[in-house]
Amino acid sequence: MNQPGRPKVGLFAGAIQQYWTECGMDGLPEALERDVRRLRDRLERDCDVVYPFLAVDVDSAARAGGIFLAEGVDMVLIYHASYVDDAMTVALLREIRGITPVLFFSQGLDGIPSDLGPVEAATCWGVNSAVQMPGSLKRLWPESRHGFVFGHLESPAALSEIVQYARAARCVKRLAGKRVGVLPHRSAGVPMYDTYPDEARLIGQTGIEITYLYIHELVERMHAVRESEAEALTDELYATCEVVEPPRSEILLAARQAIALERLVAEKGLDALAIDVVPGLTPACGMLPCVGMARLIDAGLVVASEGDLAVSVAGLIIGELCALPIHFWEHSMFDEERNWILGGHEGGSAGFRMAKKGTRPLLRSTQYINFGRTPGAPYYGVLPEFITDPGPVTLLTLFCGQKGYEMRIARGVSVDTPPRPVHYEHTIFQPNIPLQRYFERIDAVGTCHHFGLVHADLGGEVEKVARILDMELVYLTD
């Protein structure tokens, strides 16, 4: 998979010019520029940096903000190279108009030397205005938000946190306008009140767009798939997977449906799809769309079962942070002795490329064996079965609480173990706390039972996305 794009950071460095125009500290601008270059050089390892000039008064602070806006930066890092008055800060913030600001609480010197001159000392006077700035903003605009990083200019931890903020800001910026398709609605076959969405609130908090698709649109595109196209994909599935129960006729139907689903999603310009398969879609199409869902995930889309709109958006967030595929995951069984939880979802919950290296995906029947009592549905159905790669994982879901959507996050590892014959894609998750504490935490705070799982440790980035969106974040494992 591709790496996430480099975030674009506007570097605002400021200092009131009175120090050298009225107080005789002629060497201070050069010393401040030296510090800013150190910071810029470190940031450019991971970010594209826009640094216009050292802002020295209200007018230059406003001009810097205008440049950041014109350059389309994802985040503005505010570094008080020396003391910055509030009028300069206000001028900057009014210009950047919604771009995420992050206050870098730092100084030019590493520590407090026993002997230093006035110019050296002045490279640290921004500590004073950095303390002042949050209090002033709370008085001016009580609802204003900004990120915060503390540390020395060359501190690896501080620089890492700045980069996390930059990635989070880029994620939030790109989240706005993402198109999530719902096909055709929330879970109707089995009511799941924890997943019932508040579409308007979700749009308001994240900036996504929602569109609804209809079953007949998929059926029409299935009829339009040429036989040769379906046969070609069927041959590909036989070449890349081990077919266990389903006959070729059902693999062919699954291939036809997969092609149709891919075309429908492309025509609608979707970034994510929340799809519900019963009671309407499967009988109308004659097949669970699991093969098509898995292929969409391979193509970079976020796909959530049972019409789960909130997990679709959670998947967009974590996918934007790391450009990795998202596994639609729920708890299925646990092993208390080994601190394991097996989870996944009934088919189409992970891309084929997520299968553990060295293993071959299987194509199985449904775990329910047949839909014999569902008119129009096949006897077997076609579901991918495999276990995902081992390594660090992050689980994220959005939970609709009383004050709007909140984040629930869990961290741990995907266990390196053979796949289980469960008839769906699965990950065995080992949280970084004992299972009893984990489930007690879930009981205490409440959560949606579906999660987006990604093979990366994204705790720091997700924290910052939550802060930028002003969305409560609750850890289930920390």
**Taking phi first (over 0 means left), then psi (-120 to 50 degrees means alpha), and beta for anything else, what does residue 391 get?**
left
Sheet arrangement for strand 302-305: 209-212, 179-183, 272-275, 302-305
* The pLDDT value given to residue 405: 97
- Report which residue type is found at 400: C
**pLDDT computed for residue 374 by the predictor:** 67
**At residue 20, what are phi and psi to the nearest 5 degrees?**
-110, -20
In this prediction, residue 372 carries a pLDDT of 67
DSSP secondary structure, 294-347, as one string: HHHHHTT-EEEETT-HHHHHHHHHHHHHH----EEEEEEEEETTTTEEEEE-SS
- Under 8 Å CB-to-CB from 15, ≥6 apart: which residues? 28, 29, 32, 54, 55, 56, 80, 81, 82, 83, 84, 126
Paired tokens of 122: 């002045």
pLDDT of residue 370: 67
Q: Are strands 75-80 and 100-105 parallel, antiparallel or unpaired?
A: parallel
Q: Tell me yes or no: is domain 179-475 CATH 3.40.275.10.
A: yes
DSSP lists the bridge partners of residue 49 as 9
How far apart are the C-alpha atoms of 287 and 274, rounded to whole Å? 17
Let me know if domain 8-175 sits in CATH 2.30.30.230. Answer: no
pTM of the predicted protein model = 0.93
pLDDT score for 113: 93
Nearest to 327 by CA among 305, 310, 306, 309: 305
Q: What is the pLDDT of residue 75?
A: 98
Q: Where are the domains of the chain?
A: 8-175, 179-475
Question: In angstroms, rounded to a whole number, what is the distance separating the alpha carbons of residues 394 and 49?
Answer: 29
Question: Could you list the mean pLDDT of each consecutive 10-residue stretch along the chain, which spans 478 residues?
Answer: 78 97 94 98 97 98 98 98 98 96 96 93 97 97 95 95 98 97 90 94 97 97 98 98 94 97 98 94 91 98 97 97 97 98 96 97 84 67 96 98 94 98 97 98 97 96 97 96
